[in-house]
A = this chain, B = another copy of it.
Amino acid sequence: MRIVVQADPFDFGAEAAAFAEGRDDLGAVVTFTGVVRGDAALERMEIEHYPGMTEKALEQIAAEAVRRWDLGDVLVIHRYGPMRPGERIMMVATAAAHREAAFDSAAFLMDYLKSRAPFWKKEHAADGDSWVAARAADEAALTRW
């Protein structure tokens, strides 16, 4: 299990390739990557976080995934600070013997990370700045677990 919170970009290809590499007990690997979506007006996205609590919250969420599914490995990387449209914000990766556990645990990590890890997105656009509002659908997604 590896949890990384950093301002710098991460190398998604290298992280994906190294995750669970050569492990022959894990038949299924799932990755999810979040990317800054842009529209004509968006100049940059700024992610604020709560140093200390962020790492703790991500570790608790990952530990809960490991408790619920039989996972061979879990990776969470999340950036903070300024990012441009098209840049990768974060990734999770899960590895399990079979695909159901790998898919479900990755979706679980994302649902909890969205609504329970202390990150806040602010959009800086040509026509002004605004904090991204939490989606009701994201809070509702937690009830399925």
Contacts and interface: CB of A to CB of B under 8 A. Distances in A.
A127 interface: no
A37 B25 CA distance: 5
A145 B79 CA distance: 34
B31 A35 contact: no
Contact of A16 (B12, B25, B28): B12
A29 B24 contact: no
Interface string A89-104: 0000000010100110
A120 interface: no
One complex includes copies of this chain to the number of 2
A32 B33 contact: no
A34 B27 contact: yes
Contacts of A85: 24
Interface string A1-35: 00000000001111011101011111111111111
A38 interface: yes
Contact of A30 (B13, B25, B26, B30): B30
Nearest to A102: B32
Which of the listed residues A16, A26, A106, A110 has the most CB atoms from chain B within 10 Å of its own CB? A16
Contact of A107 (B14, B22, B103): B103
Interface of A: 11-14, 16-18, 20, 22-38, 85-86, 97, 99, 102-103, 106-107, 110
